[in-house]
Homo-oligomer: A and B are copies of this chain.
Amino acid sequence: MTEFIPPGTRFFDLPSPFPMKRGGALHGARVAFETWGTLNAARDNAILIVTGLSPDAHAASNHGNPEPGWWEPMLGPGKPIDSDRWFVICVNSLGSCKGSTGPASLNPDTGALYRLDFPDLSVEDGADAAAHVVRGLGIAQLACMIGNSMGGMTALALLARHPGLARTHINISGAARALPFSIAIRSLQREAIRLDPDWNHGRYDDERYPESGMRMARKLGVITYRSALEWDGRFGRVRLESDRRDDEDPFGLEFEVESYLEGHARRFVRRFDPNCYLYLSRSMDWFDIGDYCTARSGDSEGNTRAGLASIRVDKALAIGVHTDILFPPQQQEEIADGLRASGADAQFLPLPSPQGHDAFLVDIGRFGPAVAAFLAGL
C-alpha cells in the first residue's frame, strides 16, 4: 500500500534507533508534521496537537497547503486556536500511513514494507515521537498540549513520560484508559479486517485489498463516532429514492442512514492502510495511565487516579459530550479529577452536543468558545 501524505507535509527524523515501549526499535523513522503561526523569541507560545486514529497532520490550511484541514474552523488566524498568537504544531501519529513511519512504510532492514513486521505499537511510542518533534523545533516547554480522542491518550502519555514539556493541557473526548465497551468495538473492527481473505495476513496490495473488511470496520466506527440522538433528527426513517436502490438485492440499501454509512465507508476504504489501522486500534486498547502510578494495585480506578496524579501541569481542561458512547464523558471527568488531585487547576466541561464522539470535529459552535476561552486565559 502507498502512504497518503498531504502536500506541504514536513518531516522530522527520529533518533535511530528509536526504541519502542513494548520491545524492538525503529531505524530511520520519521514523524510528519505541519505548523501554523510563528514561534516567538522566548519560544514560549507553542501548542502541540495530537490527533485521533485517522487524521493526518493537515489540521488546517497553511502556507504549505491551502486546502482546508480536518479542524479548519478551529485553527488559524483569529480562530479559537489563534495562529496570530500561537505557534501551532500538529503531528501525524507514529504508526499511521499519512507521513509518519508505520506498518505501510519501508523497513530499511529488508527494503520491503514493514506490514506485520512492524514492532508492537503503543500510544506511548507516538507520545515519545511527538516529544522529539517538539524539542527538535527548539521548544523546551509547550504553552499547551491539545489531544483529541486517541490523541487524548497520547497527550496524557506525553505528560506522564516527559514532565515539564507542557504547562497546560486540553483533553478533548479522550480517555485515561481503554474500557471494555471500546475495546470490544475496536476488537470487532479489527476482526472484520482480519477476516477479509484479501487482508491475507497483512500481505495485500492495491489489486488484492481487504475492501470489505475495511468497509465494515469504518461503518462500525462511524456508528460509534456519532449518536442515536443526532441520527433520529437527521435521518429518522427516511428511505432512499427508488433510483438509488438496487431492487435486485433483497437486503440492499433502503434507508438513508444505510446510504450515509456506505458513503463514509467508500470515502475511507482506500485512503487508510489496513495494517496501520490494526496497529493504531490495538495501541488504544493497551493504553492505561494507571501504568504510571508508582504503586500499582488491583484497583484499576485507583491506579488511574494515581497515574493521573503523577502528571504535573498548571492548568487543564477536559471536554466531553454526553452522547459519546466510545469515550463517554465520565472518562473526561476522571481526567479532570485526576489532574486536579495532582495540584492542577483542572476543569471538566461537559457539552450538550448531539454528535457524539465526533462532536469536536463538527460542533465548533460549542467546542470553539471553550477552547478559545481556555487559551485566552493563559
Contacts and interface: CB of A to CB of B under 8 A. Distances in A.
Contacts of A192: 192, 216
A190 B252 CA distance: 10
A181 B237 contact: no
A218 B66 CA distance: 45
A231 B17 CA distance: 40
**Copies of the polypeptide in the assembly:** 2
A133 to B, nearest CB: 27
A66 B216 CA distance: 42
B231 A181 contact: yes
A39 interface: no
The prevalent SS among residues of A at the interface is helix
A347 interface: no
A254 B184 CA distance: 11
Contact of A179 (B180, B231, B258, B285): B231
A184 B300 contact: no
Given A188-B261, A237-B300, A251-B194, A228 B328 contact: yes
A183 interface: yes
Interface residues of A, number: 48
Contacts of A190: 251
A69 to B, nearest CB: 28
A188 B223 contact: yes
Interface in A48-77: none
Interface in A28-63: none
B191 A216 contact: yes
Interface in A258-288: 258, 261, 278, 282, 285, 288
